[in-house]
Structure 1
């Protein structure tokens, strides 16, 4: 578990470092996930070693939603004042995600 968590943190830090050094307009954790993906493609045996720890972490994934929920409760007044832009952003981003996912699945099925 500690090994898995360490590897995930190492790749996140590498991503953050690359963003800092290059000024890419992409979040560091996204770059870190891409680096981890490439690493796991190159060393397939490592993926099997990470599975037990990753499954344990995924079992506690719901804990990551607590800060967002607290933020909404703390800033409830602002959320109520800005409900229209928030609703539009949620609807548009959901639609874009569905379309992009469908196009990716269609492309991968070929």
Structure 2
């Protein structure tokens, strides 16, 4: 378990370091996830080692939304002042996500 969590945090840290060092507009955890994906594709046995603990972490994923909810409550005035751009971004990203998911499912069914 410690090894899996260390591996996940290592890739996140590497992603953060790359994003900071290169001043990239992409968040570090996203870069870390891409690097982790590449690692899982290249290292054949890595999936079997990371899967059990990763699945246990996913069972408790809802706990990770607590800080986001607190952040929204702390910045409630700003959210209220900028509700229209936030709502438009949420609707647009939802539509794009549904469209991309439909396209991927359709492509995989062929």
| Larger RCO, structures 1/2 (Cα 8 Å, 6+ apart) | 1
TM-score under structure 1 length normalisation: 0.86
TM-score under structure 2 length normalisation: 0.86
Deviation beyond 4 Å, 4+ runs, structure 1: none
2:57 aligns with 57
Matches within 5 A, 1:23-102: 23-102=23-102
Q: Which runs of 5+ in 1 are unaligned?
A: none
Paired with 1:106 and 1:23, the residues of 2 have a C-alpha distance of: 37
Q: Which runs of 5+ in 2 are unaligned?
A: none
Total equivalences in the alignment: 110
User: 1:86/1:5 Cα in 2 relative to 1: closer, same or farther (>3 Å)?
Assistant: same
| RMSD over equivalenced CA pairs, Å | 1.7
Paired with 1:99 and 1:73, the residues of 2 have a C-alpha distance of: 31
Paired with 2:24 and 2:104, the residues of 1 have a C-alpha distance of: 24
Give, in angstroms, the shift of residue 101 of structure 1. 2.0
User: 1:101/1:76 Cα in 2 relative to 1: closer, same or farther (>3 Å)?
Assistant: same
Give, in angstroms, the shift of residue 84 of structure 1. 1.8
